[in-house]
Amino acid sequence: MARRKIIAGNWKMNMTPTEAVELINTLKPLVATDDADVVFCVPAIDIIPAMEAAKGSNIAIGAENMYFEEKGAYTGEISPAMLTDAGVKYVVLGHSERREYFAETSETVNKKMLKAFEHGITPIMCCGETLTQREQGVTMDFIRQQVKVGFLGVTAEQAATAVIAYEPIWAIGTGKTATTEQAQEVCKGIRECIAEIYDAATAEKIRIQYGGSVNAATAPELFAQPDIDGGLVGGAALKPDFGKIVNWK
Ligand code: 13P
């Protein structure tokens, strides 16, 4: 069975609650489709108004981060139950910006992965190499480690429902999209890694996105690749262009 595409926007630290509602109202008709899952991952404070604005549409609202404890003295963090209570179904975990600026490691990402599954939230786990790692020829070694540690203790049944976003760091926000061949090669490598950890059936089911300067022009070729099941989109998800990306066919 063909995997259903999943096209997600990652708003990052953009859009006030008021702007979030306006953007969703603008994008709602443009991202309507039966062919793919459409997710808007928004800042925590935007989740509730975004959920309200997206009501009755095909847009699912996701979070950009989540803590791995249930509750307690963790000032500033958002718990899994806070997300599920608000209706959140997806959470971005281990984005390279969180790894770089907020000391996320594959170990903390793994704890968050386990918590997300425990609460029935689908993780969109990000991985990706730096330009130096690519030049050193260690791209796949690095990503395999991120995936292997990220999925420690995750069952095959859970893994089959997960989403992995391959985002080469050098392609994020730079306008420099990975070539279709580079993106497909790594996404295929990630699928092989999942097959090694679990089995072929799990690898066939897991959805792998590409992210990094995806736009309406590059999306069709990227999304047509056999191992690329959609995209995680930053800048272009804040514009009407996102409608074209979602309806890439
Ligand atoms: P851009 O699409 O702006 O390059 O961002 C990609 C990204 O980091 C999505 O998570």
Cα of 71 from ligand 1 centre, angstroms: 30
172 close to ligand 1 (CB < 6 Angstrom) = yes
Question: What band does 1 get if pLDDT is binned at 50, 70 and 90?
Answer: low
Which among 14, 172, 238 is the best mutation to test ligand 1's pocket, defined by most ligand atoms within 8 Å of the CB? Answer: 172
Spatial contact of 118 and 80, defined as CB atoms under 8 Å apart: yes
pLDDT in tens, 12-69: 999 999 999 999 999 999 999 999 999 999 999 999 999 999 999 999 999 999 999 9
**pTM (2 decimals)?**
0.98
pLDDT in tens, 173-210: 888 888 999 999 999 999 999 999 999 999 999 999 99
65 close to ligand 1 (CB < 6 Angstrom) = no
43 close to ligand 1 (CB < 6 Angstrom) = no
pLDDT of residue 215: 96
Sign of the alpha-carbon dihedral angle for 152, 62, 242, 171: negative
pLDDT in tens, 202-244: 999 999 999 999 999 999 999 999 999 999 999 999 999 999 9
pLDDT in tens, 102-116: 999 999 999 999 999
Cα of 162 from ligand 1 centre, angstroms: 19
151 alpha-carbon distance from chain centroid: 15
173 close to ligand 1 (CB < 6 Angstrom) = yes
